[in-house]
């Protein structure tokens, strides 16, 4: 006997058997209903005194039978897919008079059903009115669904279901093509921030999320801030909100939801299941960006390690399928890349990468020793991502790579020779950008890179003084440096002075001290060098003999 789902408790064995026999029914693929099925369904429903639900596929085969309403049906789990409609339709009974309810219609919408049908069962167990609904195309002004006028079921017997569904599919993909052409076909994403009382801070996180999304090559089509006193352990923002988000995604033709807070593995899975959208959180997004930008073998190994460590707990219950691997922007979504890698191989890979990174760390250490013996002071350039570190390093040493207006442009720290007045030769080293709520996985994996910061004699902290939130970014960097156990003196550079409002520069100078500079225009560099030289001399660095004359 095939399994009957839903509220089957208390039913007699013979009743269950007859309900289960519904699996043997088959409808013509272009018809909503046949008279025989209408009568059978109505009579059975009346007899057991409960509604019955059937899920049918495009071929008209019954794939699920359940006792209960639309919401009681467990739909076949499909991976995330490119298809616009799910290819399933739902046919169910309503005991007594009554049209499609709001919960019925949200099942139609959330499951992207081809069609939803409700057959009224009259008091004598005969089939009565038939209620039908289809999804409406996203750009339509009406609701998300189109409800047809209820009619006695036999009047709908020759409705061309197949034709309706194909026309809808066609319209859906046409609209999608139009949107793709219009914005250059980056992956369209809805960004979701959560405000549990943080206020402006939550807005800042959302703005930054948009920046990160663009850096990763996505198109942030909407930013939504959700206000909630407390977060839902299962759905984070609650089931109702997810329904809204799914509706919005549908209208905006977005395929991805990106959350500004980290999701637990279970939340990510649930949200993905309920919305059918690809789900990413902030950490994954940052990891994606790091993966895109990592150019050296060492940086690549570090990023891969971080990604694997983040993924591992998220694979629980996924069996051998690592469908979330490569679930990032621009790559394919879960359900499509079913890499058959088992956890054991994953563990091996992690061990291999860790060993490799240890080798790199060793080599770095040797290089540092060599430098120490020569006694050349090291100045590390640190700061929030996109603050202008690389540009400043370049200005201070007049060589090297161009700065890039993308977050995390630098993943490989560069070290370059430069000169400071009264000190002589020094080495400047560039570093990876900092960011608030730095993902733990990255902090660990990038330890090797940041070790150079710990070894530095002096730090230049580059702060973008031209953007809002400078104080906050300053604090984030300072706290992270404390976390890393960095003790070296810090010279603050208030960068992008050419663009900053004079009052902001003045205000930041008063609050934090620091030297206004423009790495781009080359102003303030002399003063910055003097401040660095002073800090080094205060530390007891011996000036090189000839340097006293520079
Ligand atoms: N107006 C202005 N723009 C600047 C200045 N310094 C840097 N920029 C711009 O800011 C952007 C980021 O510069 P980068 O030097 O790449 O910043 P970064 O801190 O190295 O960034 P990551 O390595 O990505 O963390 C680039 O578009 C630069 O041209 C400045 O003094 N004034
Ligand atoms: Mg850089």
Q: How far is residue 42 from each of residues 28, 37, 74, 84, measured CA to CA in Å?
A: 19, 8, 21, 32
Q: Give CA–CA dist 505/363, Å, rounded.
A: 41
- Report the separation in Å between the CA atom of 401 and the middle of ligand 1, taken as the mean of its atom positions: 12
pLDDT above 60 for 278: yes
- Pocket probe for ligand 1: among 383, 387, 403, 495, the residue whose CB has the most ligand atoms within 8 Å is 403
Of the pLDDT bands very low, low, confident and very high (cuts 50, 70, 90), residue 464 is very high
The highest-confidence range among 37-46, 182-191, 334-343, 422-431, by mean pLDDT, is 37-46
Which ligand 1 atom minimizes the distance to the CA of 387? Answer: 19
For residues 296 and 238, the model is more confident at 238
pLDDT at residue number 140:
53
pLDDT at residue number 546:
65
- For ligand 1, whether the C-beta of 253 sits within 6 Å is no
pLDDT at residue number 130:
96
Do 134 and 234 fall into the same domain? no
Q: Which of 272, 297, 279 is nearest to 363 (CA)?
A: 297
pLDDT at residue number 72:
84
Do 135 and 277 fall into the same domain? no
Angle (deg, nearest 10), helices 502-512 and 470-483: 30
Average pLDDT over residues 441-464: 79
Do 121 and 195 fall into the same domain? no
The interface predicted TM-score of the complex, written ipTM, equals 0.98
Contact partners, residue 184, CB within 8 Å, separation at least 6:
219
- For ligand 1, whether the C-beta of 403 sits within 6 Å is yes
The range of the structural domain enclosing residue 441 comes to 375-549
Q: Which of 203, 192, 199 is nearest to 232 (CA)?
A: 192
Cβ atoms < 10 Å from Cβ of 243: 16
Q: Which region among 9-13, 218-222, 511-515, 545-549 has the lowest average model confidence (pLDDT)?
A: 545-549
Look at residue 396 and tell me if it is in a domain.
Answer: yes
For residues 333 and 306, the model is more confident at 306
Q: Which region among 270-279, 301-310, 535-544 has the lowest average model confidence (pLDDT)?
A: 301-310
Look at residue 281 and tell me if it is in a domain.
Answer: yes
For residues 37 and 293, the model is more confident at 37
Average pLDDT over residues 223-251: 90
Share of the chain above pLDDT 70, in %: 84
Q: Which of 66, 128, 129, 73 is nearest to 103 (CA)?
A: 73
For residues 198 and 56, the model is more confident at 56
Do 157 and 264 fall into the same domain? no
Per-residue pLDDT reduced to its tens digit, 396-427? 987 544 555 566 666 556 778 888 998 888 98
Do 174 and 216 fall into the same domain? no
Do 214 and 126 fall into the same domain? no
pLDDT at residue number 65:
95
Number of structural domains (the chain) is 3
For 216-239, the DSSP string reads TTEEEEEEEEEE-SS-BTTTBS-H
Which ligand 1 atom minimizes the distance to the CA of 408? Answer: 24
- For ligand 1, whether the C-beta of 211 sits within 6 Å is no
Last residue of a domain, one of 262, 290, 318: 290
Beta strands 378-383 and 424-430, pairing class: parallel
For residues 387 and 373, the model is more confident at 387
Q: Which ligand is nearest to the CA of 290?
A: 1
Question: b or e along 77-97 (b: 16 or more beta carbons within 10 Å of the residue's beta carbon)?
Answer: eeebeeebbbbbbbbbbbbee
Which ligand 1 atom minimizes the distance to the CA of 519? Answer: 31
pLDDT above 50 for 80: no
Average pLDDT over residues 237-244: 90
Look at residue 80 and tell me if it is in a domain.
Answer: yes
- For ligand 1, whether the C-beta of 293 sits within 6 Å is no
Q: What is the dihedral of CA 139, 142, 147, 150, to 10 degrees?
A: -150
Of the pLDDT bands very low, low, confident and very high (cuts 50, 70, 90), residue 496 is very high
- Check: CB of residue 513 under 8 Å from CB of residue 492: yes
Last residue of a domain, one of 178, 208, 232: 178
Q: Give CA–CA dist 304/349, Å, rounded.
A: 10
Look at residue 242 and tell me if it is in a domain.
Answer: yes
Per-residue pLDDT reduced to its tens digit, 325-368? 444 454 433 333 333 445 677 788 888 988 988 888 888 777 77
Rg (CA), the chain: 31
Q: What is the mean pLDDT of the chain?
A: 83
For residues 492 and 283, the model is more confident at 492
Do 195 and 103 fall into the same domain? no
Cβ atoms < 10 Å from Cβ of 340: 9
User: 188: exposed, middle or buried (C-beta count within 10 Å: 0-12, 13-18, 19+)?
Assistant: buried
Share of the chain above pLDDT 90, in %: 39
pLDDT above 90 for 129: yes
- For ligand 1, whether the C-beta of 518 sits within 6 Å is yes
Average pLDDT over residues 435-460: 75
pLDDT at residue number 324:
41
pLDDT above 80 for 432: no
pLDDT at residue number 541:
83
pLDDT above 90 for 441: no
Do 433 and 533 fall into the same domain? yes
Last residue of a domain, one of 234, 261, 290: 290
pLDDT at residue number 404:
57
Tokens (6 digits) for 392: 């400043």
Q: Give CA–CA dist 500/514, Å, rounded.
A: 14
For residue 223, the domain's CATH number is 3.40.50.11060
pLDDT above 80 for 87: yes
Do 206 and 161 fall into the same domain? no
- For ligand 1, whether the C-beta of 401 sits within 6 Å is no
- Report the separation in Å between the CA atom of 35 and the middle of ligand 1, taken as the mean of its atom positions: 71
pLDDT at residue number 406:
61
Helical spans, DSSP H, in 276-382: 282-293, 297-311, 343-374
Do 131 and 219 fall into the same domain? no
pLDDT at residue number 334:
35
Look at residue 357 and tell me if it is in a domain.
Answer: no
Contact partners, residue 167, CB within 8 Å, separation at least 6:
none
Average pLDDT over residues 517-539: 95
């Amino acid at each position: 006997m095939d399994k009957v789902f839903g509220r089957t408790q208390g039913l007699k064995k013979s009743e269950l058997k007859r309900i289960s026999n519904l699996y043997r029914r088959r409808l013509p693929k272009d018809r909503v209903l046949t008279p025989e099925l209408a009568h059978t369904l109505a009579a059975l429903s009346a007899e057991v005194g409960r509604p019955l639900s059937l899920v049918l596929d495009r071929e008209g085969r019954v794939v699920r039978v359940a006792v209960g309403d639309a919401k009681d049906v467990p739909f076949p789990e499909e991976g995330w897919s490119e298809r616009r409609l799910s290819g399933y339709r739902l046919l169910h009974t309503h005991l007594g008079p009554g049209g499609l309810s709001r919960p019925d219609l949200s099942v139609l919408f959330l499951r992207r059903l081809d069609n939803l049908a409700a057959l009224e069962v009259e008091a004598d167990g005969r089939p009565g009115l038939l209620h039908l609904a289809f999804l409406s195309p996203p750009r339509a002004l009406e609701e998300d669904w189109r409800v047809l006028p209820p009619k006695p079921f036999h009047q709908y017997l020759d409705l061309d279901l197949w034709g309706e569904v194909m026309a809808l599919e066609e319209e859906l993909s046409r609209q999608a093509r139009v949107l793709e052409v219009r914005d250059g076909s980056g992956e369209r994403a809805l960004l979701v921030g959560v405000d549990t009382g943080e206020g402006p801070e939550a807005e800042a996180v959302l703005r930054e999320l948009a920046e990160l999304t663009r850096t990763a090559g996505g198109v942030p089509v909407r930013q939504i801030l959700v206000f909630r006193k407390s977060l839902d352990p299962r759905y984070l923002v609650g089931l109702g909100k997810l329904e809204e988000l799914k509706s919005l995604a549908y209208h905006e033709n977005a395929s991805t939801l990106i959350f500004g807070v980290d999701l637990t593995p279970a939340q990510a899975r649930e949200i993905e299941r309920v919305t059918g959208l690809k789900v990413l959180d902030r950490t994954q997004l940052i990891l994606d960006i790091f993966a895109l930008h990592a150019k050296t073998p060492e940086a690549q190994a570090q990023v891969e390690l971080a990604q694997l460590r983040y993924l591992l707990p998220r694979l629980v219950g996924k069996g051998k399928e690592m469908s979330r691997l490569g679930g990032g922007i621009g790559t394919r979504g879960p359900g499509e890349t079913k890499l058959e890698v088992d956890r054991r191989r994953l563990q091996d890979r992690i061990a291999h990468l860790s060993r490799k990174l240890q080798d790199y760390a060793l080599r770095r250490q040797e290089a540092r020793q060599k430098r120490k013996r020569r006694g050349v002071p090291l100045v590390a350039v640190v700061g929030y991502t996109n603050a202008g570190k690389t540009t400043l390093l370049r200005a201070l040493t007049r060589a090297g790579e161009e700065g890039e207006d993308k977050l995390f442009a630098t993943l490989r720290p560069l070290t370059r020779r430069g000169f400071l007045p009264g000190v002589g030769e020094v080495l400047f080293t560039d570093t990876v950008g900092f960011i608030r709520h730095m993902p733990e996985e990255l902090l660990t994996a990038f330890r090797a890179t940041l070790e150079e910061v710990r070894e530095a004699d002096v730090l230049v902290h580059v702060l973008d003084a031209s953007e809002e939130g400078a104080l906050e970014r300053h604090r984030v960097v300072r706290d992270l440096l404390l976390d890393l156990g960095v003790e070296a003196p810090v010279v603050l550079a208030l960068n992008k002075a050419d663009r900053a409002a004079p009052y902001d520069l003045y205000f930041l100078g008063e609050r934090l001290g620091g030297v206004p500079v423009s790495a781009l225009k080359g102003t303030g560099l002399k003063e910055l060098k003097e401040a660095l030289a002073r800090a080094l001399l205060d530390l007891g660095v011996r000036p090189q003999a000839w340097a006293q004359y520079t």
